[in-house]
Structure 1
Amino acid sequence: MTTDLLALARDIDTTCRLQGEFLLRSGKVSDEYFDKYLFEGDPALLRRVATAMVDLLPEDTQVLGGLELGGVPIATMLSSLTGLPAVFVRKQAKEYGTRRLAEGGDVDGRVVTLVEDIVTTGGAVHDAAIALRERGAQVSTVVCAIDRSAPGDSVLPSIHVATRSVLTKADLDASAVG
């Protein structure tokens, strides 16, 4: 890992790894919690993450698809850095107004690179990729800030979506130790 990425991992970990008593989605209680929105809400950290993502984008990317909710600020910053248009991908199409799944532009016939904050199993990315493909988009890559998936846990290979990450959970853990 480069010095810049090591520093980024350390700064994200220091900012986002909280100590205390936290009720997890699973119902378990933990003495530690990773609050990803703390780096996404910090403009300097957000810019550093998005800057590190620029080189991860496939060359044929035509549209950035920021996944609701955590991928939206990253996609917005990445769009600003690259000049690529961004769409904001809902978990499900809204049931009123335009009834769109992807807000902000058309995806039909375009190469969309998905943007996500954290990928663990890839479930949200999987669902977004399938839904966007049904609307004519070409989706084969997700770029994420942090890949927390364990070997074999990701559902993305089954739909031929590659994951490109700035950092992994192991990078964050190593930065906390070192």
Structure 2
Amino acid sequence: MDPTPDPALAADVDTCCRLTGEFTLRSGQVSSEYFDKYLFEAQPALLARVAAQMVPLLPEDTELLGGLELGGIPIATMVSSRTGTPALFVRKQAKEYGTCKLAEGPDVAGRRVTLVEDVITTGGAVRDATKALREAGAVVEVVVCAIDRSPEGENPLADVGLEVRAVLTKAQLDAARG
């Protein structure tokens, strides 16, 4: 299931997107480091390498890839392109006009959705999306992410029964710095 760790990928992602300073995370936590995932997502070759490492992390029974707004969407699109698995684009909240959908794309009812996220620290956005998709009838059991910066050995989404599978962990990125 887990791909072999790629130290070169960790080094390249780290070099591209680790910022230092004072940053307030979505969770409200303040961090001296921030992984600006848009910096690697904007580089086609680096995004393709992350997506390639994500493919073997997908459960075999995945029917839809649920890319979370905004950072999970380009990754889900790239993984969808590599695997032929349809993508679904999950908003932070349902739009208030037109179709008023939370998830754009195929119907999720009764289907196995693997969530795709860029960076997970506490998992707040993933938790919200999981609850909403399950209410819509989706089966959501796994999230794959580019970077898991939660504390090593902890699953921040255990409370909602979600398995986290990461291409890179904070420990791997730290090790790549040397």
TM, length-normalised to structure 1: 0.90
Q: Secondary structure at the residue paired with 2:140?
A: coil
CA offset digits 1:119-157 (Å, max 9, x no partner): 111111111011000001000000001111115764411
Change (3 A) 1:170 1:28: closer
1:110 alignment partner in structure 2:
111
Provide the aligned length of Structure 1 versus Structure 2: 174
* Deviation at residue 17 of structure 1 after TM alignment: 1.7
The residue aligned with 1:140 is 141
In structure 1, stretches of 5+ residues that fail to align are none
Structure 2 residue aligned with 1:81: 82
**8 Å CA contact 2:72, 2:118 repeated in 1:** yes
In structure 1, what is the equivalent of residue 71 of structure 2?
70
Asked if 1 retains the 8 angstrom alpha-carbon contact of 2:65 and 2:114, the reply is: yes
Aligned match of 2:167: 166
C-alpha separation between the residues in 1 aligned to 2:39 and 2:105?
Answer: 25
Query: Is residue 113–residue 139 contact of structure 1 (8 Å, CA) maintained in 2?
Result: yes
What is the match of residue 24 of structure 2?
A: 24
Moved over 4 A (4+): 25-30, 151-154
Match status 1:91 vs 2:92: yes
After the TM superposition, which residues 42-61 of structure 1 pair with which residues of structure 2 at under 5 Å, given as runs?
42-61=43-62
**What TM-score, normalized by structure 2, do the two folds share?**
0.90
Give the superposition deviation at 1:171.
Answer: 0.3
Distance 1:55 1:76 in 2: 16
Identity of aligned residues (%): 65
Q: What is the deviation of 1:22?
A: 4.7
Asked if the contact 1:122–1:154 (Cα under 8 Å) also holds between the matched residues in 2, the reply is: no
**1:139 match: secondary structure:** strand
